[in-house]
Amino acid sequence: MGYLFTSESVSEGHPDKVADQISDALLDEFLRQDAESKVAAETLVTTGLVVLSGEVKTKGYVPVQKIAREVINRIGYTEAGYMFDGSSCGVISAIHEQSEDISRGVEQENPEDQGAGDQGMMFGYACKETEDYMPFPLQLSHQLLIELAAIRRENKEMTYLRPDSKSQVTMEYGDDNKPIRVHTIVISTQHDDFDEEQAMLAKIKHDIQSILIPRTKNKLQKQDQALIDDSYILHVNPTGKFVIGGPHGDTGLTGRKVIVDTYGGKGAHGGGAFSGKDSSKVDRSAAYAARHIAKNMVAAGVAEEALVQVAYAIGLADPVGLFVNTYGTAKVNLSDEQIANEISAIFDMRPSAIVKRFGLKNPIFEPTAAYGHMGRKPYKQKVVVKQNGLDVEKEVEFFTWEKLDFVEEIKAVFDL
């Protein structure tokens, strides 16, 4: 029997995502100054105010207020009328030094013995619904808001747009768990004030249907475009006006959009947030590693769909367990327990090995803080970092956990 499944996304101007981006921008700047920085940065944003808090251990100096303002302005909160703008909002810092009780378990004389920065379980998921091995409803939700932000920045069409927005996609699936068509799209977008509310609603809905959705659809793969036919239901700003938004409309906090950050409700999530945390915190680094495993497994043909769980105890390097669920889609004649055992032998899941495998001491995290940490395209970019007190330009890779670099090894182990 078929079913409907829904995922949502929020834009870079959503208050929770503003907080995430500030936290990750601070992390990146600490890593630029000192690659060994230990950071757990939390941000609160509300009307006219940003509060920075958390724990840091570093040899570098970061002008945290300046970084926060730069992020806010880049997102687009640049007008006093928004009741929150980067040039005039207050920025309070309550960042302090990391607890020695944590650092003693994380830092070891032998770097390979580096312990996990916390206990907990992390999940990675992959499926064959899209070319990026992500659930289709979440990927489309992200793409709609990426395109909406592009339209806003171009300022040629839909010139009334403001930074805060949300999307939601409901997908119809068949008996075989494969997507059939997009059933419902919901878009809520902040906008300038209009004189006439009904005319405003009609104008925005028309533009979403005739500008945003076609632009988004044209950037999808041909087979994915076919899933958006003319029968979908569209809801635009269902509550009416959406003039008051961003941190003035709702308080934003780091780490409140973990399902948007991961798989849109498919698979599972261990509960730990990502943004603002350096790679010693396995909440982040091991979640990336689990996604890397799941994606490479599905790409190699081990299964059509895969969930990978890894769990740690604080201060210990080796995971306490690794679990695999292929949802009955395995293409090899092995149980999920046997598959997990083979996977454990392929991937070194000690925190130090994960950090090295993905280059997680580089300042690569701010781009992850909006539109999802998973399903993104890996790319290289030059950044400036401090080395021996000097500014040095180096090339780093972003979204390395999305690389399909273990496919051949997995195929060899599973005789595929």
Which of 217, 243, 269 corresponds to the end of one domain? 243
Residue with tokens 């060994």: 36
Based on the domain organization, do 187 and 285 belong to the same domain?
Answer: no
Based on the domain organization, do 267 and 401 belong to the same domain?
Answer: yes
Based on the domain organization, do 282 and 397 belong to the same domain?
Answer: yes
Asked whether residue 55 is marked as a ligand-binding residue, the answer is yes
User: CA 307, 312, 316, 319: dihedral to nearest 10 degrees?
Assistant: -30
Based on the domain organization, do 38 and 143 belong to the same domain?
Answer: no
Which of 216, 243, 270 corresponds to the end of one domain? 243
Asked whether residue 361 is marked as a ligand-binding residue, the answer is no
Asked whether residue 42 is marked as a ligand-binding residue, the answer is yes
Asked whether residue 164 is marked as a ligand-binding residue, the answer is yes
- Say which residues have a Cβ less than 8 Å from residue 100's Cβ, sequence separation at least 6: none
Based on the domain organization, do 290 and 356 belong to the same domain?
Answer: yes
**250 domain residue, yes or no:** no
Q: How many domains does the chain have?
A: 3
pLDDT digits (tens, 9 = 90+) for 60-88: 999 999 999 999 999 999 999 999 999 99
If pLDDT is split at 50, 70 and 90, which confidence band does 105 have? low
Asked whether residue 207 is marked as a ligand-binding residue, the answer is no
**339 domain residue, yes or no:** yes
Asked whether residue 224 is marked as a ligand-binding residue, the answer is no
Which of 243, 272, 293 corresponds to the end of one domain? 243
Query: What is the predicted pLDDT for the residue at 198?
Result: 86
**85 domain residue, yes or no:** yes
Helix axes 282-300, 336-346, angle to 10 degrees: 110
Based on the domain organization, do 322 and 350 belong to the same domain?
Answer: yes
Asked whether residue 242 is marked as a ligand-binding residue, the answer is yes
Based on the domain organization, do 266 and 350 belong to the same domain?
Answer: yes
Based on the domain organization, do 273 and 395 belong to the same domain?
Answer: yes
Cα torsion 402, 352, 406, 178: sign: negative
**388 domain residue, yes or no:** yes
Asked whether residue 59 is marked as a ligand-binding residue, the answer is no
Based on the domain organization, do 229 and 276 belong to the same domain?
Answer: no
pLDDT digits (tens, 9 = 90+) for 172-191: 999 999 999 999 999 999 99
Averaged pLDDT of the chain: 94
Cα torsion 21, 262, 228, 331: sign: positive
Start-to-end Cα distance in the chain? 31
Q: How far apart are CA 251 and CA 49, in angstroms?
A: 10
What is the pairing mode between strands 379-387 and 305-312? unpaired
Asked whether residue 277 is marked as a ligand-binding residue, the answer is yes
**68 domain residue, yes or no:** yes
Based on the domain organization, do 266 and 405 belong to the same domain?
Answer: yes
**108 domain residue, yes or no:** no
Q: How far apart are CA 192 and CA 334, in angstroms?
A: 58
Query: What is the predicted pLDDT for the residue at 196?
Result: 85
pLDDT at 36 over 90: yes
Asked whether residue 128 is marked as a ligand-binding residue, the answer is no
- Could you tell me the CATH number of the domain that includes residue 368? 3.30.300.10
Based on the domain organization, do 324 and 356 belong to the same domain?
Answer: yes
- Token pair recorded at residue 314: 């604080």
**312 domain residue, yes or no:** yes
Asked whether residue 176 is marked as a ligand-binding residue, the answer is no
Asked whether residue 353 is marked as a ligand-binding residue, the answer is no
| Domain boundaries, position 61 | 16-97
**104 domain residue, yes or no:** no
Asked whether residue 257 is marked as a ligand-binding residue, the answer is yes
pLDDT at 57 over 60: yes
Asked whether residue 350 is marked as a ligand-binding residue, the answer is no
pLDDT digits (tens, 9 = 90+) for 335-377: 999 999 999 999 999 999 999 999 999 999 999 999 999 999 9
Rg of the Cα trace of the chain?
A: 22
Based on the domain organization, do 292 and 184 belong to the same domain?
Answer: no
